[in-house]
Amino acid sequence: MPRGIPISGEFKQHVVEDVLVNKLGYREAMRKYGITGKMTIQNWERIYLEEGVQGLYLERRGRGSKGRPPKPLAKKVEEDLIAENQRLRAEVDYLKKLNALVLEEELQNKRRK
């Protein structure tokens, strides 16, 4: 297959399902379908297994593709991250106030001298 030409989701689905159902090897599938690299088929298979058939229909070429949706975090992980974020914000606020107090005290000490 020539590089740079978009490949249809139906073709990708057909190749991956043929590999999975008929237990074709990557090299055999490459010869059968005229694909030039086994990584291509491996990537399609990974997308198929992780995201399902609809993942193969998304356009993924180009830089900064937004084609693949982000994987959702586990509820516990998300809660932990939110809690850590709140703690860090509180720490930053505390340090800013402490810094302001120290600077104010230094200014007062300079004025007394």
pLDDT of 61 reads 67
pLDDT of 69 reads 72
Nearest partner of 13 among 49, 66, 62, judged by Cα: 49
What percentage of the chain has pLDDT greater than the value 70?
A: 88
Cut 0.75: pTM above it: no
pLDDT of 7 reads 83
Average pLDDT score, the chain:
87
Tokens of 107: 């200014």
Nearest partner of 39 among 49, 30, 28, 48, judged by Cα: 30
pLDDT of 2 reads 54
pLDDT of 67 reads 65
Span 74-99, average pLDDT: 95
